[in-house]
Chain A
Amino acid sequence: MILNASGSLDALEAPEVARALDVFVTKTVTPQRREGNRPVRIAETEAGMLNSIGLENPGIDGLLDDKLPRLAELGVPLWVSVGGFAANDYAQLCAALDDRREVTAIELNLSCPNVEEAPESAAELVAAARPQTGKPLFAKLSPAATDLPATARAVQNAGADGLSLVNTIRGLALDDKTLQPRLGHELGGYSGPALKPIALAAVYQCYRATGLPIVGMGGIATGRDALDFLAAGASSIALGTVLFADPEAPGRVRRELADELAARGLSGAEDATGLAHGVKPASVA
């Protein structure tokens, strides 16, 4: 499956792009409406880009009342990304989404680099969300965790059904002339090609540690990139920064991946998942 990374596509502004995906993942929604961070919000760097959007979103009520019905009309399965500042926020958001038939799964954004982290551990946030919904919960983790496989195991034990790996990683860019931060919020989330080896390592390690279904993302721009993520252990992949430069990336990456799989005699993406591990770990055998 090909998804978009949360926050890298507005399906209502670009329905043709969303329809080329297998799943559309919303921008992260929080309990209350957020206007987001002051400009400047993006900065291209030598091997990627920084963003500091700051979770701009209409709040859960705005999503449920206005956006969700319109998104459902696209005919693309929907995942809603939720984020907050305390365990209760995640619980409240999941409870609000639980009876919405338009929503296939919920992604828990446990790692936005542009807002102050919730003080609770990722596992506590998952544990708070879990009893509130029967929908599949995917935990989106930061690659910056000290011991990512341990975090992945902890969220698995707390009830996560899958992992979204990875979120952006915190970065800084300075203006050439003034040597001041280029972003209004100073620090931002780093994405793009430079993130790929970091994300691949996260997928590789967490696949071994948990055997959970993984949505792999971080610098995927080609079918070959996608194949690498599958081989490392992802069962689906998501496109983020590449969508900014190439709105036709979903169809292109899908074609390129099919060619890559065929060239290796693989009949489908599921046959590629975990190939980098040689023998598949016992937990997923």
Chain B
Amino acid sequence: MRRRERLRVVANEAVGPYSLIRVERGGLEPGVPGQFFMLEAPGRLLPRPMSLCQAPPGELSFLLEAIGPGTRALAAVEPGDELHVFGPLGNGYRLDVQKPLLVGGGIGAAPFPYLSEQLGGPPAILGFRSDWHAEAAALVPNAEVVVEPTLVTEPLTDLVTDCYKVFACGPEPMLAAVRELAPDAQLAWEAPMACGYGACYGCSVEIDGVLQRLCVAGPVLEAA
């Protein structure tokens, strides 16, 4: 059940260029991997959607990349600060599959530490734009790391023929390429979002010619 609470920041740790924001869990449930939370971005009008990265006892943590005013404000939080956090929201990954394989690009690796834990540490393929960004791979067990210009589709091509079921998260071109190779993949999409709970109609994405509100239909959608 989703809740909104003001939670204390426990730590803000650098992971390569990314920030791992750890907050006290309060009364919030961690939800299913791939679900997301709306995090208050200090000083900004709107909160920002973040998938849950880790769920250690008593905490929730979020991995983010400071790319705009909201994520920069979040990347600057300090232990002791308090943030409104609302969630879990949306639909996460379906976990009842044989031979899972995680495929992530860049900050798309964010939901994988929690997902990997829930799936018992399956193999993962993670792509990053530099060795510095690839430091985030340390959060995901059993990860094969590729760095640009190598793309995740190279190692993936060999593995999908082995009946692996793909869980993907990353930029849209990567998701499109993964779909080509693994038509039944579960894909976590991303869009600017104002509310996270269906109110604003702002996060619609066009998938196969149909507009869908990502916050209520996704963010994880089955390919096909």
User: Does A associate with B in a complex?
Assistant: yes
A156 → chain B closest CB, angstroms: 31
- How far, in whole Å, are A245 and B4 apart by their CA atoms in the complex? 10
- A162 CA to B143 CA in the complex, in Å? 62
A37-61 near B? 1/0 per residue, CB < 8 Å: 0111111100111010100100000
Within 8 A of A (CB), among B24-69: 40, 44-47, 69
Q: Are B200 and A192 in contact (CB under 8 A)?
A: no
Q: Quick check: which of A6-14, A105-113, A135-143 contacts chain B, the rest being far away?
A: A6-14
- Contact status of A40 and B192, CB under 8 A, knowing A245-B40, A248-B4: yes
Partner pick for A39 among B40, B191, B195, B198, CB 8 A cutoff: B191
Give the size of the chain A interface in residues (CB under 8 angstroms).
32
Shortest Cβ gap from B56 to chain A (Å): 27
Known: A241-B45, A244-B46. A42 touches B200 (CB 8 A): yes
- SS class, residues of chain B in contact with chain A: loop
Tell me whether A193 is interfacial, beta carbon within 8 Å: yes
B-chain residues with CB within 8 Å of residue A243 when the two chains form the complex: 195, 199
B205 adjacent to chain A (CB < 8 Å): yes
Nearest Cβ on chain B to A164's Cβ, whole angstroms? 18
B45 touches A56 (CB 8 A): no
- A196 interface hit (Cβ, 8 Å): no
Contact with B along A79-112 (1 / 0, CB 8 A): 0000000000000000000000000000000000
Report how far A284 CA is from B173 CA in the complex, Å.
61
Given pairs A49-B46, A51-B201, A245-B195, 5 additional interface contacts (CB within 8 A):
A13-B216, A39-B191, A39-B204, A53-B201, A247-B197
26 contacts between A and B (CB under 8 A): A10-B198, A10-B199, A10-B201, A14-B197, A39-B205, A39-B211, A40-B191, A41-B203, A42-B194, A42-B202, A44-B70, A49-B46, A49-B194, A51-B194, A51-B200, A51-B202, A56-B201, A192-B45, A241-B194, A243-B195, A244-B195, A244-B200, A245-B40, A245-B45, A245-B194, A246-B84
